[in-house]
Structure formats: structure tokens, C-alpha cells
Amino acid sequence: MNTQATLERLQQLKLHGMAHRYQTILDLGVHQQPESMHHLIALLADGEAEYRNQHRSLRNLRRSKLRYDVSLWPSASW
């Protein structure tokens, strides 16, 4: 499976955080990419966890109907 097919499969499986992190890793130089498969999988899992956590926080902020637009971090650009 080539990289584009892998990215499409991750999007189809709704693993947007992993897809974004995988694309970021592919954009790195060869010498900067993770050397071991375990490190790569850990980075992908962390990317998905961060995406879901941020998505959940943003969803809860929208549902809270705060009077003022307040956030602890800048808006996400996923």
C-alpha cells in the first residue's frame, strides 16, 4: 500500500489525528523520520489521542454557550 492509499484509509476510518501526524512524518526529511516502527506507531497513537482530546474540548466549548469567546489555546486548524 502506498502512502496516499494509507492516508485515504486513515481518513475513511476516521482516524484524522493519525492521518495528520502520518502526513507530517512523511514531510520530514529521511534523517528526521523515526527509526523504529515502535516509535512511529507511538507517534501516530499520540497524534490521534491529541486530536480527539482537542476536538472534544472544542466541542464542549461550543456547547457551553459561554457569553464571551474564551479559550485556553488558539483555535485548531485541522
Q: Chain-wide mean pLDDT for the chain? A: 87
Q: Is residue 67 part of a domain?
A: no
The residue-averaged pLDDT of 12-18 equals 94
Q: Is residue 51 part of a domain?
A: yes
Q: Is residue 44 part of a domain?
A: yes
Domain that holds residue 55: 3-62
Please tell me the number of Cα atoms within 13 Å of 59 on its side-chain side: 6
Q: Using one digit for the tens of pLDDT, what is the confidence trace for 35-54?
A: 888 999 999 999 999 999 99
Task: Read off φ and ψ for residue 36, nearest 5 degrees.
Answer: -100, 155
Q: Please give the pLDDT value at position 73.
A: 66
In 3D space, the residue among 26, 36, 21 whose CA is nearest the CA of residue 4 turns out to be: 26
Place of cell 489525528: 17
How many domains are contained in the chain? 1
The residue-averaged pLDDT of 64-71 equals 71
Which of 2-6, 48-52, 68-72 has the weakest average pLDDT? 68-72
